[in-house]
Structure 1
């Protein structure tokens, strides 16, 4: 069965039916694969942060900031300011000092964010205190 044939079929349901019919005609069987849950980007980023920040109080403070800033979405972009990533760096390209993969790698963003919080505030807990008082950090 050609791809162009499937493209000509009007709806996805018709395309699936046509593909199943063609497969059956060719003596093949189409089977549904079991559903696989995609790994959560948020949970994997949180696991990385836990490894990088073993102290529970510091991790919890870091986590609260990230939850408020990006919801643990490493591709979060603030449409008005352009802040980017888990920690909403402004500009996002500042995170390149932690690695060239800063746009896509949560570990790089976490490293940069942790370094930022430690250098500017002394710790993630102190950064969280500042965030609570000001609504930003």
Structure 2
């Protein structure tokens, strides 16, 4: 091991930077538990949506809307309007039509959101087109 490498990792700040760089290079992330939990919850909701929406174009459109609306957070709440969940239903209780577990189950929220997009716009892709033109759907 070279002396310069040892000097680089001698300070804790530099050691953390080196570890973060090594982790990033290896495709890993160093995050705090709450951020990791949110990321895990979001990726889980995305996986559920992908299974429910197998068409790539429709999934991508649905995903873009959800990313803008809630960041894939199933408990996202708009403090000014009260809109709730992945798809920001207003009121959130509308999602009870898809299941009584609408407050906590991303699959129920995805089902309701997909049904809403299909009935109101014809498809998630058409809902995304509307969202792009108006900033809401």
TM-score (structure 1 length as normaliser): 0.73
Deviates more, 1:25-34 or 1:70-79: 25-34
User: CA RMSD of the aligned region, Å?
Assistant: 10.2
Runs of 5+ consecutive residues of structure 1 not aligned to the other structure: none
Q: How many aligned residue pairs are there?
A: 137
Deviates more, 1:119-128 or 1:36-45: 36-45
Q: 1:12 to 1:103 in 2, by over 3 A?
A: farther
Per the TM alignment, residue 136 of structure 1 is displaced from its structure 2 partner at its CA by 0.1
Runs of 5+ consecutive residues of structure 2 not aligned to the other structure: none
Q: Given that residues 42 and 73 in structure 1 are in contact (C-alpha distance below 8 angstroms), is that contact kept between their aligned partners in structure 2?
A: yes
Q: 1:12 to 1:74 in 2, by over 3 A?
A: farther
Mapping 1:99-114, distance limit 5 Å: 99-114=99-114
Per-residue CA deviation, residues 2-43 of structure 1 (Å, 9 max, x unaligned), is 999999999999999999999999999999999997871000
Q: Whole-Å Cα distance in 1 between the matches of residues 128 and 25 of structure 2? A: 63
Per the TM alignment, residue 79 of structure 1 is displaced from its structure 2 partner at its CA by 0.2
TM-score (structure 2 length as normaliser): 0.73
Q: Given that residues 6 and 18 in structure 1 are in contact (C-alpha distance below 8 angstroms), is that contact kept between their aligned partners in structure 2?
A: no
Which runs of structure 1 show a deviation greater than 3 angstroms over 4 or more consecutive aligned residues? 1-39
Q: Given that residues 38 and 73 in structure 2 are in contact (C-alpha distance below 8 angstroms), is that contact kept between their aligned partners in structure 1?
A: no
Per the TM alignment, residue 71 of structure 1 is displaced from its structure 2 partner at its CA by 0.1
Per-residue CA deviation, residues 82-126 of structure 1 (Å, 9 max, x unaligned), is 000000000000000000000000000000000000000000000
1:77 partner SS:
coil
When you count helix as a share of all residues, which structure comes out higher? 2
Per the TM alignment, residue 81 of structure 1 is displaced from its structure 2 partner at its CA by 0.1
Q: Which has the larger radius of gyration?
A: 1
